[in-house]
Chain A
């Protein structure tokens, strides 16, 4: 007979009605699956009792696929067909990867989606397909462990994942036959695992130091609702860097240089073991024999290790400050700190974070499992296994979303760090008389000029009734759903014509790009401001040129030849200055043209008043 699990009081389900749901931490290095069983969130182990599944897929031939440890063993012998760290390629194009020679894979570009693919013995495989293999493995493990089919899964993604990367993750889940209940930001999942949602309210920091990445998130809980206030991080900092420090120290101690790859791997493994040893012990001995017979025998103390890795620790504190600043909070406002990622086991990390926040961080859950545990709790809730005490989770968008306006300027509609789901609308108008269509260019980024932002999508709103410039009212609505996916709608308010687009960008950004874009927005703030001022002035000057040209065409006969020559001269001068890219020169030329046309404007005004009045009696006028 079936094996039963204990339910919460009053929550027993009818037979065959158990809704099995899991939380999945789809990691760069390792992946985990967890579920709520007997009221407790637990990670599901494989037959060997291992919780972590290495995120590695090996295509042995056209049919046979290995996942996890079995695939890992092929990494050295069969590097082309053994794919690791596939998360880094999710939703990305070849151009995003930069120097591909650092990866052992044969990359190709999918001509339809412009995303990257990997050529393997089983044919071209997209990162989505590779991730789906990992998810399938976890799904099988979960169904065997729970004795039934899954209703759905909550899958975690880094807070910095953009729309394309989130969509790719969802696609992978679908391919693996999983119903995605929700994508959940990793830090948010960690906070849930610690049950921080049980408190009434508070501000929490989630410090996530993984193998190769560092993320910090500031969450606020109020009336049982979680909100991510800010996220920050360093995509090139993690536990591996600490191993690297020990490795370098070993080289120095033993006067070694230029080791063969196998020795480097050997020493890195020893460095990692030493790091782990120093969590519990005051010193550790590293002994190893190199391929040429040389013997390494060094003793490393905790103090030495702390000294050599101190600046790595300090590098995590800068993003902490930035995240707090983005959230407009002080250290004293933080009620609790959650530690995530295996690297946070290091005592010096816990100490430094504790000192920064002036409190002891939460470390009693396994930092490798905490994200999966939290995802499982939310999956259980979303599957409908917990009714009354529902809560809602809010995440933030990492980069501002906006659109292009005249002059190549970016107009932000949803500012960065806005909580999702969200919808914002803004009204725009036409630039030229009789304009019947408008091109809407959706961009992501913090910079003022469109060329410095990332283009997400373009679409056109057609069928705008012909009106004078500025009379049309076009309402553009940006909507970001709970999974962070964007849809943009444009509607002309008088006629009701409408156009919408779902943004599934063809390729995405990496953490490093987002970090760079954020950094540049600060760095180039002044240049951006000047560039914006210039573009705005240029747009205005263009409009002035248009207006004067139109006036000359219509009422040129009101002018004497000298007057006309004076205006034309200033007009030409302004057109030359437009190419100059200097606000002062442009401003002067515009003033000169305005001055030259004062009398002309007066004459046109008189003419139109005269035509309006001629042939009418005083009594006819509605005064």
Chain B
């Protein structure tokens, strides 16, 4: 089981952490919320908890709690630009359904 990120995403994350001045890496998870059941969690990680699973991708540490991992196993995090907007996109093979905007999903 693993998750990864594209090189573009990694570059941006490293950049953000450098500007922010602190952070062990990126914490990725899912929460049961939102209009379609699940929502992604994408946060800076400042502390490491014992149960955290760690993955390395292009020099960035990705932290996932074991409960979230099944929902996002095999996922690749990408960074994209759409017009003036830019941000992260989850390419998650487990998703069956998404709400219109894609902020929440079902597996």
Within 8 A of A (CB), among B22-60: 26-27, 31, 33-35, 39-47
Contact of A141 among B40, B84, B87 (CB under 8 A): B84
Cα–Cα, bound, A96→B94 (Å): 67
Are A4's CB and B88's CB within 8 A?
A: yes
Contacts of B101 in A (CB 8 A): 1-2, 15-16
A38-46, A127-135, A153-161, A589-597: which lies at the B interface?
Answer: A38-46
Decide if B102 is an interface residue (CB 8 Å cutoff).
yes
Contacts of A16 in B (CB 8 A): 34-35, 101, 103
Are B19's CB and A40's CB within 8 A?
A: yes
Given contacts A14-B33, A44-B84, A145-B84, contact A6 B39 (CB under 8 A): no
Task: Give the interface SS of chain A, mostly helix, strand, loop or mixed.
Answer: loop
Given contacts A16-B101, A40-B20, A44-B84, contact A7 B43 (CB under 8 A): yes
Residue of A nearest to B102 (CB): A1
Given contacts A12-B31, A15-B33, A15-B103, contact A4 B40 (CB under 8 A): yes
Are B43's CB and A15's CB within 8 A?
A: no
Within 8 A of B (CB), among A1-57: 1-12, 14-16, 38-40, 44-47
Contacts of B35 in A (CB 8 A): 15-16
Are A8's CB and B87's CB within 8 A?
A: no
Cα–Cα, bound, A60→B42 (Å): 46
Are B20's CB and A3's CB within 8 A?
A: no
Interface centre among B16, B26, B102, B103 (most CB of A within 10 A): B103
Decide if B99 is an interface residue (CB 8 Å cutoff).
yes
Are A38's CB and B34's CB within 8 A?
A: no
Are A2's CB and B16's CB within 8 A?
A: no
Given contacts A1-B103, A15-B101, contact A9 B46 (CB under 8 A): yes
Contacts of A147 in B (CB 8 A): 82, 85, 87
Given contacts A3-B85, A4-B88, A7-B44, contact A15 B16 (CB under 8 A): no
Decide if A144 is an interface residue (CB 8 Å cutoff).
yes
Cα–Cα, bound, A418→B34 (Å): 47
Decide if A499 is an interface residue (CB 8 Å cutoff).
no
Contacts of A38 in B (CB 8 A): 12, 16
Given contacts A47-B84, A144-B85, contact A5 B98 (CB under 8 A): no
Are B88's CB and A6's CB within 8 A?
A: yes
Decide if A151 is an interface residue (CB 8 Å cutoff).
no
Cα–Cα, bound, A46→B19 (Å): 22
Contact of B90 among A4, A5, A7, A145 (CB under 8 A): A4
Interface centre among A11, A146, A147 (most CB of B within 10 A): A147
Are A40's CB and B16's CB within 8 A?
A: yes
Decide if B6 is an interface residue (CB 8 Å cutoff).
no
Residue of B nearest to A5 (CB): B87
Are B44's CB and A39's CB within 8 A?
A: yes
Contact of A146 among B13, B43, B44, B85 (CB under 8 A): B85
Residue of A nearest to B45 (CB): A9
Cα–Cα, bound, A145→B81 (Å): 10
Cα–Cα, bound, A2→B88 (Å): 8
B49 to chain A, nearest CB (A): 11
Considering only CB atoms and an 8 Å cut-off, how many residues of chain B contact the other chain?
36
Contact of A2 among B45, B47, B84, B102 (CB under 8 A): B102
A144 to chain B, nearest CB (A): 4
Contacts of B99 in A (CB 8 A): 15
Are B27's CB and A9's CB within 8 A?
A: yes
Contacts of A8 in B (CB 8 A): 43-44
**Interface residues on chain A, size class:** 20 to 34
Are A4's CB and B87's CB within 8 A?
A: yes
Contacts of A146 in B (CB 8 A): 85
Contact with A along B58-86 (1 / 0, CB 8 A): 00000000000000000000001011111
Given contacts A1-B102, A2-B103, A38-B16, contact A14 B83 (CB under 8 A): no
Contacts of A11 in B (CB 8 A): 43
B107 to chain A, nearest CB (A): 15
Cα–Cα, bound, A10→B46 (Å): 10
A373 to chain B, nearest CB (A): 12
A420 to chain B, nearest CB (A): 32
Given contacts A15-B101, A39-B16, A40-B16, contact A3 B82 (CB under 8 A): yes
A206 to chain B, nearest CB (A): 22
Cα–Cα, bound, A3→B101 (Å): 9
Residue of A nearest to B18 (CB): A40
Are A6's CB and B31's CB within 8 A?
A: no
Are A144's CB and B89's CB within 8 A?
A: no
B84 to chain A, nearest CB (A): 4
Cα–Cα, bound, A45→B103 (Å): 25
Residue of A nearest to B103 (CB): A15
Are B89's CB and A1's CB within 8 A?
A: yes
Cα–Cα, bound, A11→B42 (Å): 9
Decide if B104 is an interface residue (CB 8 Å cutoff).
yes
Cα–Cα, bound, A144→B34 (Å): 23
Contact with B along A557-587 (1 / 0, CB 8 A): 0000000000000000000000000000000
Are A144's CB and B83's CB within 8 A?
A: yes
B90 to chain A, nearest CB (A): 7
Given contacts A9-B27, A9-B45, A12-B42, contact A3 B33 (CB under 8 A): no
Contacts of A2 in B (CB 8 A): 87, 101-103
B50 to chain A, nearest CB (A): 16
Are A6's CB and B34's CB within 8 A?
A: no
Contact of B41 among A1, A12, A45, A47 (CB under 8 A): A12
B103 to chain A, nearest CB (A): 4
Are A145's CB and B85's CB within 8 A?
A: yes
Cα–Cα, bound, A39→B44 (Å): 9
23 contacts between A and B (CB under 8 A): A1-B101, A1-B102, A2-B102, A3-B85, A3-B87, A4-B40, A4-B42, A5-B42, A5-B88, A7-B44, A9-B47, A12-B43, A14-B33, A15-B101, A16-B34, A39-B44, A40-B19, A44-B84, A45-B84, A46-B84, A47-B84, A144-B85, A147-B87
A-B pairs, top 10 by smallest CB distance, nearest first, are: A1-B102, A3-B87, A15-B103, A15-B34, A145-B84, A144-B84, A147-B85, A15-B104, A4-B88, A38-B16
18 extra interchain contacts, Cβ-Cβ under 8 A, other than A15-B33, A40-B19? A2-B101, A3-B86, A4-B87, A4-B89, A6-B42, A6-B88, A10-B43, A11-B43, A12-B43, A14-B33, A15-B101, A16-B34, A39-B20, A40-B20, A45-B84, A145-B86, A146-B85, A147-B87
